[in-house]
Amino acid sequence: VSPSTTAFADAIHLEPQLDGTYAGLVDGGWTIGGKPNGGYLLAMLASAALEEVPHDHVLAASAHFLHSPDPGPISLTTEVLRVGRSASQVRARLSQDGKPCIEALLMIGTLDAADEPHWAGGAPAPSGVGPEECLRLPSTGPTGVHVAIMDQVDLRLDPESLGFASGRPAGRGELRGWLQLPGADFDPVSLLYAVDAFPPATFDVELSGWVPTMELTAYIRALPAPGPVRILHKAQLIEADRVDEVSFVWDSRGRLVAQATQLAGIRLGR
């Protein structure tokens, strides 16, 4: 971790409070145009949920984004919905100044490093060039927005996905590339950030302003191996000022470790 970056674990650090809630701080470095990344915030909610139940890893997280918090203090509350033998469920809420910002449901269980895929025939295969042939995104985006988070993480896009940067999107709605955290490897919690880390996949169709996440559901499928993760972020349908995007995250062994779907707001063609 260089002096200018905040480790992910520090950026999501929570302090348990005497009343059973958790206090956290939205880090100004983990923002896009001054607003925190949604997956980064979801990782905070998962951290709080993990404190509440006997299992070790987040397996599924579904979040509805109500209001974007600003950098600064936040509060998290949790409610254990069920404690099971192999998995438990927790509801969690992130609020700022008493205003609910994110409501999430989380399934917590335990992943075993020895597990192997039984059948992976329906998932896309990892594709694209290696990280050394990708280009790192700068913190000044093509829309002029300051993307502070790009000074934290090493996010590299495949040259074939970079048409948007020169005003020539490929029109496929697909961004491929790699992601690495500052000075740390991924774990199930930080994979919740990975699924939402890429620029809007719609940039490969048409540039726009902020594409705010309304709903984000992520599944963590395996413990990631050390090293950067490969990501495919893909838009499916843009209609009525909303777009759905799917993400696939593979670890350095090529194993699918996380998947996600999100519904986001978008303004185009007006």
Q: Which residues bind a copy of itself (CB under 8 A)?
A: 59-60, 62-64, 66-67, 81-82, 87, 89, 91, 100, 103-105, 107, 111-112, 115-123, 171-174, 201-202, 205-206, 214-215, 217, 219, 221-222, 234-240, 242, 244, 246, 256, 259, 261, 263, 268-269
DSSP 160-220: GGGGGGGT---SS-EEEEEEEBTTB---HHHHHHHTT-SPPGGGGT---S---EEEEEEEE
Smallest gap from Cβ 7 to a copy of itself, in A, equals: 29
Smallest gap from Cβ 117 to a copy of itself, in A, equals: 5
Return the H-helix or E-strand segment holding 89.
Answer: strand 87-96
Nearer to a copy of itself, 7 or 246 (CB): 246
- Find, among 139, 135, 177, 137, the residue nearest to 29 by Cα: 139
Nearer to a copy of itself, 153 or 194 (CB): 194
Smallest gap from Cβ 82 to a copy of itself, in A, equals: 4
Nearer to a copy of itself, 23 or 80 (CB): 80
Smallest gap from Cβ 264 to a copy of itself, in A, equals: 11
- Tokens standing for 229? 């993760």
Nearer to a copy of itself, 156 or 233 (CB): 233
Nearer to a copy of itself, 184 or 263 (CB): 263
DSSP 140: B
Q: Provide the b/e sequence for 104-127 (b: ≥16 CB within 10 Å).
A: bbbbbbebeeeeeeeeeeeeeebe
Whether 261 and 248 have beta carbons less than 8 Å apart is answered as: no
Nearer to a copy of itself, 18 or 240 (CB): 240
Smallest gap from Cβ 240 to a copy of itself, in A, equals: 4
Whether 88 and 55 have beta carbons less than 8 Å apart is answered as: yes
Smallest gap from Cβ 13 to a copy of itself, in A, equals: 26
Nearer to a copy of itself, 134 or 205 (CB): 205
d(CA 46, CA 5): 22
Smallest gap from Cβ 154 to a copy of itself, in A, equals: 26
Q: Distance from first CA to last CA of the chain, Å, rounded?
A: 42
Q: What are the beta bridge partners of residue 77?
A: 93
